[in-house]
Structure 1
């Protein structure tokens, strides 16, 4: 069987308060973010967290994204960047290096395990169920940081403690501003919730 999920990122101001989220169903989703980050960092982190949290599962994974940057970075551009020492064709360093290297490691592990990861582009805000849910999570997380709160991280996937959070520096992607003390506040202070999350009718969880 195949797990099907949506992943998305958001930034209010870009850069600005930023969030990410991925969604499989009402019982399996996650969200996070930073007080200051970019939309692309959110997009990459959503995919990375999803890959890590499902890495102990045998099922293949289909990820719906509305970010061409995230999809092409992982599926097309990464081999060339690696050959050039993580530099672009013009010789400039690749942005979001820590996230991309972590994504490369997860994709390598998946291939070694015989697990297929399939990325599918979907137009944003076009009514795609999983994309809309992931977008709601990412936007909600960004809005939470804008308001000085920490978003609900979600239930994630049972059976693993692997997330994308250890890739971040002080709770944020390298190169972003310090998130401040609220990042480490206990879960009881995470007041942002997503009461309207529901399992979309299509596509189904398992293909």
Structure 2
């Protein structure tokens, strides 16, 4: 039997105060500038690490790109729960590496990359940076389509949001 914190298992709803979030995000896009969708599965945890409940968020933008949708999922989740510490899990190296390594230098250079060009998706990076600054966040990369149940569920929801079943 799976534990209450196992994303694949049954959720046990508790009436304890929520102290931390575990957020699985994913983005999807059909074509290089087609309809895009994003999803965030947000497990709200109590002090013992048990899942209190799960919130599911999805959204759509068209036209879009996969990278924009990856960012949009993280932004929506963090904006929805601004005061809580969180672990954000994504199969997007663009998102995880971007927020943990690239954003600081981009900000210092006026949102330009190392070649002096404007950072792609600058509007979303700036918004994500503002939501993440000063907050207790852990960013975790997971391999996509490798059996992580919450990542797989976020993928299905993001594709559906983009307009694919």
**With structure 2 as the length reference, what TM-score do the two structures score?**
0.78
1:69 Cα deviation (Å)?
0.4
- Counterpart CA distance in 2 for 1:130 and 1:116 is 22
Corresponding residue for residue 153 of structure 2: 133
The 8 Å contact of residues 39 and 158 in structure 2, kept in 1 or not, is answered as yes
1:66-91 deviations in whole A, cap 9, x for unaligned?
00001111110011111111101111
Which of 112, 115, 118 is the equivalent residue of 1:87?
A: 112
What count of residue pairs does the alignment treat as equivalent? 138
Taking the aligned partners of 2:138 and 2:150, their CA distance within structure 1 comes to: 15
Q: What is the CA–CA distance in structure 2 between the aligned matches of 1:27 and 1:118, rounded to whole Å? A: 19
Which residues of structure 2 form unaligned runs of 5+?
A: 1-18, 44-52
Match of 1:41 in 2: 68
- Counterpart of 1:51 in structure 2 is 78
* Residue 18 (structure 1) aligned with residue 18 (structure 2): no
1:107 aligns with 2:132: yes
Question: Greater strand share, 1 or 2?
Answer: 2
Q: Which deviations, in whole Å up to 9, do the C-alpha atoms of 1:19-54 show, x marking residues without a partner? A: 001002574010011121000000000001111001
RMSD: 1.6
The answer on whether the counterparts of 1:64 and 1:130 sit within 8 Å (CA) in structure 2 is no
State whether residues 24 and 130 of structure 1, in contact with CA within 8 Å, keep that contact through their aligned partners in structure 2.
no
Q: Which has the higher contact order (CA 8 A, sep 6+)?
A: 1
